[in-house]
Amino acid sequence: RFADVAQAPPDPILGVSEAFKRCTDPKKLNLGVGAYRDENLKPMVLDVVRKAEAKIFAANKDHEYLPIEGLDTFRKATIDLLLGAGHPAIKDDRVAVIQSLSGTGSLRVGAAFIARFLPKGTTVYISNPTWGNHRNIFADENVEWKYYRYFDADTVGLDFKGMVEDLKAAPAGSVVLLHGCAHNPTGVDPTADQWAAIADLCKERNLLPFFDVAYQGFATGDLDKDAFAPRLFVDKGLEVMVAQSYSKNLGLYGERVGAMSIVTSDKDAATRCLSQLKRLARPLYSNPPTHGARIAAEIVNDQELFTEWKAEMMGMAGRIARVRGELQAALEAKYPSKDWSFVTRQIGMFSFTGLTPAQVDNMTNKHAIYMTRDGRISLAGLNSAKVDYLAEAMIDSVRN
Ligand code: PMP
């Protein structure tokens, strides 16, 4: 019976962390997983999170189940964070919000909703490349997915023309998965004008935008600016699906804090959508975890803590921007004939280095630098002390 179960391959992203743990080289560096590290490369707990936790513990709360849809104060906080408090869609009660298991679980509930309530055969278009788990999430719900062109390796920028062509060719009614900001893995986002054109195209072609908002705050350091794209789409009158995560911006990775929302054009539709989201969640995990939701709600709903969070968010984004600049400068100093300007043009947690799988193997096997085989490095795992070492390893790998 179980003897015939085949061994699964390691996860392309989390498998990197497993290999890093096994490595005994003292110079080893983990640039695989997108988790924020402080300047000493240690996991960081935000001060506002500590403060919110102190308040929660002081209130001596119980451990009862949450409702299937999650904690009300959290659901309000999360849609406020996305659209801005007082947004007309919120005031009109046109949004169905279900607290779910961080970004991944929210995307999965969204995929289940697509499978059950959108017409049979509805295809989800995802960017090429994208976060590796997107494919798994839709495939495991038996939702067909296809790529749209996104990254242009020659310009190390957006292939906007290719993206528009592919979306124009998508059948009406298709879903388009869009990264809200700080595209993973490329660090390349559309400009404001390009976002507007994509929104207009979705309207014209009756495409349903599904935003994956996993890095709000990490593109510019500003939580509002980073919500530009989903707000623009909603303000243009589009209905959208959105999966939000607090893993990165509140550093609540293991607490699994996030939400799946559907912004509809009328209140009754939102009520019905929520009823169905609950029905999908019930047999999957019944109800979401409490602790992280309480933390996020304390922070977003409290003016003082919210202001403090914004400052800490700037600090995290600022540290990443600084090591980005340092890495580019080191690469330019050591290998001036090559154009390294892409390093600071890219935004968010990652740099998409253009290293080939063979070059990535050289980075890992020779230099003990762990990264995903698509050539992505997480700058959140880099500090000033390691910049030179990384630059030298990259150049060695590019030259060989
Ligand atoms: N979407 C993207 C693009 C991501 O990079 C991630 C995290 N790596 C997620 C969603 C989900 O992360 P989590 O489930 O921890 O919220």
**35-71 pLDDT per residue, tens:** 999 999 999 999 999 999 999 999 999 999 999 999 9
Distance 234 CA to ligand 1 centre (A): 22
pLDDT at 222: 96
Tell the residue nearest (CA) to atom 12 of ligand 1: 103
Distance 146 CA to ligand 1 centre (A): 20
Q: What are 381's two structure tokens? A: 């795992």
Q: What are 332's two structure tokens? A: 């330019």
Tens-binned pLDDT, residue by residue, of the chain (400 aa): 999 999 999 888 888 888 999 999 999 999 998 899 999 999 999 999 999 999 999 999 999 999 999 999 999 999 999 999 999 999 999 999 999 999 999 999 999 999 999 999 999 999 999 999 999 999 999 999 999 999 999 999 999 999 999 999 999 999 999 999 999 999 999 999 999 999 999 999 999 999 999 999 999 999 999 999 999 999 999 999 999 999 999 999 999 999 999 999 999 999 999 999 999 999 999 999 999 999 999 999 999 999 999 999 999 999 999 999 999 999 999 999 999 999 999 999 999 999 999 999 999 999 999 999 999 999 999 999 999 999 999 999 998 7
For a mutational test of ligand 1's pocket, the pick from 128, 131, 181, 352, i.e. the residue with the most ligand atoms closer than 8 A to its C-beta, is 131
Active site residue 248: yes
Is 251 a pocket residue for ligand 1 (Cβ < 6 Å)? no
Q: What are 265's two structure tokens? A: 């054009």
For residue range 154-179, what is the model confidence (pLDDT) as tens digits?
999 999 999 999 999 999 999 999 99
pLDDT at 15: 86
- Give bridge partners of residue 243 from the DSSP assignment: 212, 260
Active site residue 131: yes
Domains of the chain: 10-45+306-399 (3.90.1150.10), 65-301 (3.40.640.10)
User: Among candidates 320, 345, 342, 349, which has minimal Cα distance to 394?
Assistant: 342
Element (H, E) at 117: helix 102-117
Instruction: Provide the ipTM.
Output: 0.99
Is 212 a pocket residue for ligand 1 (Cβ < 6 Å)? yes
0.95 surpassed by pTM = yes
Residue with tokens 């289940």: 112
Is 32 a pocket residue for ligand 1 (Cβ < 6 Å)? no
Quick one: which atom of ligand 1 is closest to the CA of 105? 14
Q: What are 115's two structure tokens? A: 């499978």
Is 102 a pocket residue for ligand 1 (Cβ < 6 Å)? yes
Is 247 a pocket residue for ligand 1 (Cβ < 6 Å)? yes
- The one catalytic residue among 51, 131, 189, 340: 131
DSSP structure string for 37-96 = B-TTS-B---HHHHHHHHHHHHTT---PPPPTT--HHHHHHHHHHHH-TT-HHHHTT-EE
Q: How far apart are CA 273 and CA 179, in angstroms?
A: 23
- The one catalytic residue among 159, 166, 189, 212: 212
pLDDT at 34: 87
Is 264 a pocket residue for ligand 1 (Cβ < 6 Å)? no
